[in-house]
């Protein structure tokens, strides 16, 4: 076995992690309530594993891997948070990403929701903002979360 092992896709039994993370971020004031209809508002709309075209200001949580290198019972999940603002607004996605950073980076053992406990969380990638063809600016940050064993 090589020293490097590629992360595997999020396991089926953990499909709910992005949903629970979205609920935690809502409770921290980072995004809209994921259990309600998404519309333009004071916080970005939130979507799981996709970024809908509307509303303009939005956050997508994209779960893409689970790694068991450190521990089989406490896997490390990688989730990208993709922020988007309204046309010609470069500032709001940056501000939204910084609110998420405050809620997620360098936290210790935290019970985020009834189903999700994170032992450690850290931002590992911070991409520069880029516009799309509709002049909406995007910012993507990737976090690693060490998940507590399911109980």
pLDDT single digits (tens) 46-60:
999 999 999 999 999
Q: pLDDT tens digits, residue range 106-126?
A: 999 999 998 899 999 999 999
The values of phi and psi at residue 144, to 5°, are -105, 130
What is the C-alpha to C-alpha distance for residues 41 and 99, in angstroms, rounded to an integer?
A: 16
Share of the chain above pLDDT 90, in %: 74
Q: Please state whether beta strands 58-67 and 45-48 pair in parallel, antiparallel, or not at all (unpaired).
A: parallel
pTM of the complete model: 0.88
CB 91 within 8 A of CB 85: yes
Quick one: which H or E segment has residue 64? strand 58-67
The pLDDT assigned to 11 comes to: 47
Runs of H (alpha helix) within 68-116:
91-104
Cα–Cα dist 86/93, whole Å: 9
Section 62-77 average pLDDT = 86
């Amino acid at each position: 076995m090589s020293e490097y092992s590629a992360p595997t896709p999020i396991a089926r039994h953990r499909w709910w992690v992005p949903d629970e993370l979205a609920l935690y971020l809502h409770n921290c004031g980072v995004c809209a309530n994921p259990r309600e209809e998404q519309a333009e508002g004071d916080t970005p709309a939130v979507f799981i594993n996709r970024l809908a075209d509307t509303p303009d200001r939005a956050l997508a949580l994209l779960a893409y891997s689970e790694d068991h290198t450190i521990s089989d019972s406490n896997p490390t999940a990688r989730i990208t948070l993709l922020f988007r603002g309204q046309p010609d607004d470069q500032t709001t996605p940056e501000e939204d990403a910084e609110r998420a950073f405050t809620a997620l980076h360098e936290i210790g053992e935290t019970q985020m929701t009834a189903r999700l406990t994170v032992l450690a969380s850290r931002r590992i990638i911070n991409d520069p903002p880029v516009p799309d063809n509709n002049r909406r600016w995007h910012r993507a940050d990737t976090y690693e979360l060490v998940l507590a064993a399911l109980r």
